[in-house]
Chain A
Amino acid sequence: MRIATYSVYANTVTSLQRRQGELQRSQEQLSSGKRVAKPSDDPAAAARAERALAAMQRAEADQRALEASRSAIQLTESALANAGELMQQVREQVLAAGNPTYTDAERSMLVQALRGLREQLLGIANRADGVGSYLFSGQGSAKPPFVDTPGGVVYEGAAGEARVTSRESLPIAIDGRHAWLEAPNPVPPANPGDPLNPPLSVFAVLDRVIGELATPGRSNDQITTTVQDGVRDLDAVNSHMLAVRARTGELLNRADAVEMHIGDAKVGAQYERSLAEDLDMVQAISDFQNRQTGYDAALKAYALVQRMSLFNYLGG
């Protein structure tokens, strides 16, 4: 077979260039640490890396939403704990007021104490969350959600629960109306199958007890009834608030679980991204050395071949 001298040189130069290009690419990969620099390097891996990146981004956003929820719920939980202690004091004062030997004057001292406790409870119900909203504002309230009116305390926020969009939907403000004003009525309906009796409000129960205890000249029986009914209703609202508090505790547990999920998802996504586009260093170094050897051999071969010519042996 004939070989044209021109194409010997041209082919050698082409293959030298190709080898140099490969070497250069290996070097780029080694210095960037990435196996996939552009989609065409490995379209499937590029797609996986892109998906993993979106998942990482999402996990970070979920984590931020979770933190917002958790800090609000933690504050709510401690507010409810405070409220529980106050409710315990209220119960003790009401029981004390049932003492048949107390005079109206002595009872009015207790009533004063009860009024003070009611104020504190209202304060807790309207506690701010420190970042511009209220703990018990439900689906939003621009001002303290519980308003003391002549007819009793009313809720002026938006009832229901505000939620954030983490991995799971988590509350950021719990329903204040439900927590404070809607304890199940301990008195069963008159006939089975009837709708339940209207729910009890913490403040309405207190107001009724305080109002009755503050009324002078009532008989011991009347006072006993007040105390009995009062304690029954106070226990009902207290246990309702305990249930709400238990739910916040459960929400905090859930937040921890969700956080673990988010963390796992993020680590998984990071691993996936790295797996998809990062360079296997051992492999890459070995490839680089192979290519280096190949280039070296090509250069040597070129140097040898270009010396071989019949002209070198003629004449002289």
Chain B
Amino acid sequence: MSGTALFSIGVRALAANYAALQTTGHNIANANVAGYSRQRVELETSLGQFTGSGFFGRGVDVATVTRSHNQFLTREAATARSLASADAAREHQLSQLELIFKSGEQGLGHATGQFLNAMSDLASRPYDSATRTVVLSRADALAQRFVEAGVQLESVQRGVNEGLRASVDAVNSLAASLAEINNRIAAARGLGQPANDLLDQRDRLVAEISSHVQIATIPADDGTVGVFVGGGQRLVLGNRAEKLQLVGDLFDGSRSAVAITEGANQQRLGSAALGSGSIAGLLRFQNEDLVTARTRVGQMVAAISEAVNAQQMLGLNLQLPPGSVPSAAMFEVGDPLALPASTNAKDLAGAYIGAVTLTVQDASQLEASEYRLQFDNGAGQWRLTRLSDNLVRLVNSGDVVDGMQIDITNAAATDQFLLQPVTRAAVGMRALLTDPRDIAAASPLVASTGGANSGTAAIGALTMVTPPVDATASVTVTFGAIDGGDPSGRSRLYDWTMFDSGGNPIASGSGSWAAGEPLPAPPDADINGFQLSLTGVPAEFDTLEIVPTPYPEQNNGNAVALAALRDKALVGRDLMADGSFAGGATFTEAYVAALSDVGVRAQSAQSSATISSALASQAEAARAGEAGVNLDEEAARLIQFQQSYQAAAKVLQVAQSVFDTLLETTT
């Protein structure tokens, strides 16, 4: 046993306690650093020295500095944060989106109501130019509101693109840092001790990347981690980082998609594959919520415009002489679009060979959706997928589906198209009329009951369903005996004759009118373009006269029909097999549905965001509970190691005095 053993023990103890104090200091210093894991010095007893009297301890050694870290909790916290930031991104966008769907006097619904109610006022005063001017200004206001909504929806889309760009840039720079840190960790690994602070930094980078995009991490043997996105695409491997790229949507360049480049290859990442993170949240908002909002607004615009235009064009305006200028459409809307995929076959000049043309046949049947068109090799037909509900139908060129006609020319079997029948309708809406006289308030025909009628029949309404065959012709309907063919006894036979302006008969027909049903009865859809509804009951020999309107400036027939559009279910109705219509909503209902749909989306996004952010905080608290610094604990340790340090110093002092004693004795 050498006389210096005590010295050696004291020095080691001093060094070990100093190291512990240093580490505690480091912990205190980093208490507020996000992602910092507290460190501790691992001490171990030096192996004893054997003597004849047994083993004598040789003091303490510093084995290593470890960080308090739970890989499971760290991963949990990162995953929860990823989900929370996806929800937060979507919620933020939806809260922007719902501002466009205003309720009350600023809303689209109110503007629609104002416009159609102005038609009711026009019906009360068809000759009044002030009332006509009001109708025009309401039409203008309606178009402007919809255009505004359309423009705002586009600017929300641009906001999404910018948000995605920021996230993609952030991921790229974080991935580059992570690759660099991987490199340094691998280098430090050779030293045989863990590089705690580098590992913390890497965990933090992993967490930050996963707040933008969901990732999978796989540790490698050399201490680095591989980071994968989109279900297996390499983002970081060892010291090499790949780049995410923001690219245009395959069909619609104004929308964004995310791709990853691997060497020369560019691989698009589907929003489902991206999982969570703000990028996935934004893409989900773009592809689901925003598309729904845009198509719902577009559907309303298309339906209102067509219904008003069709009725307006059936009426007579005030241009003189009456009927000389056909009544023109009141609104125009943005055209339906069929967008080719950027991968479709192109000719040598780079233009697409195949093309699809969309034509709206009946705007009241248009659905609030976009469609994907692909060739189905098995069926030998085109497969049309309605994206709002994934309904698949097989179509051929020229077919009419959901109110739109699809014409396909020269398309290759590998071509794909995105059909947007209404997506851009709102932005292109415009009120076309500027002259109050152009409003067609008058009906081209008027109906009256014969003077000698003995029944109670009166004209309920005369509705033009198509333009008259002969605008100058008059029609006389004469009722006959009760129809014996109808056992309920509710029907009366009638004959009609059409006379030209000279009073010569030019057409005639007959039918059986049933109480409560329009005249003419099926199969005739109209006589000279009109359909009559009667109140009361006609008697035998009773007549009805339908003549060209003598004074269009005083007639309100068409204004009444325009005002009646308020109560018709003309948005998104379905054509049944027998030619009748089912479903559909009035304009008011359509807007109410759009508004509450956005409201429900925003509300549920809010509650998911609240829930997932609470979960993320909990997971972070659990991680921090394991890894974070507690200052009270560090204070206790400071005292602990300070005392140990003082004790070790005392050992040195004793060793010195022992040594001095020895020296004094020997001199």
A residues apposed to B, CB below 8 Å = 1-7, 11, 14, 36, 38-44, 46-47, 49-51, 53-54, 57-58, 60-62, 64-65, 68-69, 131-133, 137-142, 156-166, 169, 172, 175, 177-178, 181-182, 184-185, 195-199, 277, 309-311, 314
Contacts and interface: CB of A to CB of B under 8 A. Distances in A.
B180 interface: no
Contacts of B639: 314
B554 A43 contact: no
B124 A164 contact: yes
Contact of B551 (A3, A158, A277): A158
B228 interface: no
Given A6-B624, A50-B592, A158-B555, A61 B120 contact: yes
Contact of B599 (A40, A53, A58): A40
B interface, by DSSP: helix, strand, loop or mixed?
helix
20 contacts: A6-B628, A7-B624, A7-B625, A42-B603, A50-B103, A50-B104, A131-B128, A132-B128, A137-B554, A140-B556, A158-B547, A159-B545, A165-B564, A169-B460, A178-B449, A178-B451, A196-B454, A309-B632, A309-B635, A311-B635
A11 B591 CA distance: 42
A310 B104 contact: no
Interface string B118-154: 0111011111100000000000000000000000000
A140 B625 contact: no
A173 B595 CA distance: 41
A310 B640 CA distance: 13
Given A64-B121, A65-B123, A141 B451 contact: no
Contacts, number: 239
Nearest to B535: A169
Contact of B98 (A14, A39, A60, A163): A39
A272 to B, nearest CB: 13
A178 B554 CA distance: 18
Interface string B567-603: 0000000000000000000001101110111111111
Contacts of A62: 120
B553 A4 contact: no
Interface string B600-614: 111100100000000
B217 interface: no
A43 to B, nearest CB: 3
For A47, A50, A197, which residue has the most chain B Cβ atoms within 10 angstroms? A50
A178 B632 CA distance: 102
Contacts of B99: 38
B564 A140 contact: no
B158 to A, nearest CB: 22
Contacts of B541: 195-196
Given A46-B596, A60-B117, A160 B447 contact: yes
B104 A131 contact: no
Nearest to B460: A169
Contact of B557 (A69, A133, A139): A139
A142 B408 CA distance: 53
Contacts of A2: 625-626, 628, 630, 633
Contact of B625 (A3, A44, A185): A3
Main SS at interface, chain A: mixed
Nearest to B633: A2
A291 B293 CA distance: 35
A197 B454 CA distance: 11
B446 interface: yes
B125 A131 contact: yes
Contact of A38 (B98, B459, B547, B588): B98
A39 B101 contact: yes
B627 interface: yes
Closest A-B pairs by Cβ, 6 of them: A4-B628, A39-B599, A140-B554, A43-B599, A40-B602, A160-B448
A199 B596 contact: no
Contacts of B163: none
B596 A39 contact: yes
B10 interface: no
B550 interface: yes
A68 B624 CA distance: 75
Given A64-B121, A198-B452, A309-B635, A57 B458 contact: no
B244 interface: no
Contact of A157 (B551, B557, B599): B551
B605 to A, nearest CB: 8
B189 to A, nearest CB: 28
Given A6-B628, A69-B124, A314-B635, A40 B621 contact: no
Interface in B458-481: 458-461
Nearest to B639: A314
B459 A5 contact: no
B628 A44 contact: no
Contacts of A50: 103-104, 107, 109, 588, 591-592, 595
Most A-side CB within 10 Å, residue of B103, B119, B447, B597 = B103
Contacts of B629: 4-6
B370 interface: no
Given A5-B632, A164-B556, A178-B451, 12 more contacts: A1-B625, A39-B602, A46-B596, A53-B104, A54-B588, A159-B448, A160-B447, A160-B459, A162-B556, A163-B560, A165-B564, A198-B452
A172 B127 CA distance: 13
B636 interface: yes
A7 B628 contact: yes
Nearest to B539: A196
A154 to B, nearest CB: 12
Contacts of A172: 124, 556
A279 B401 CA distance: 46
Interface in B539-566: 541, 545, 547, 549-557, 560, 563-564, 566
Nearest to B114: A57
Contacts of B606: 40
B120 A65 contact: yes
A41 B603 CA distance: 7
Contacts of A133: 127, 554
A186 to B, nearest CB: 13
Contact of B459 (A140, A161, A165): A161
B631 interface: yes
Nearest to B116: A61
A139 B636 CA distance: 99
Contacts of A137: 554
Contacts of B617: 11, 14
B265 interface: no
A182 B451 contact: yes
B342 interface: no
A137 B551 CA distance: 10
A310 B103 CA distance: 56
Given A64-B121, A140-B549, A39 B113 contact: no
Contacts of B103: 36, 38-39, 46, 49-50, 53, 277
B596 A7 contact: no
Contacts of B633: 2
B433 interface: no
A140 B550 contact: yes
A162 B446 CA distance: 10
A18 B101 CA distance: 27
B300 interface: no
B612 to A, nearest CB: 14
B95 interface: yes
B447 A140 contact: no
B110 interface: yes
Contacts of A165: 119-120, 123, 560, 563-564
B54 to A, nearest CB: 40
Contact of B550 (A60, A158, A182, A197): A158
A68 B588 contact: no
Contacts of B638: 314
Contacts of A161: 458-459
B124 A64 contact: yes
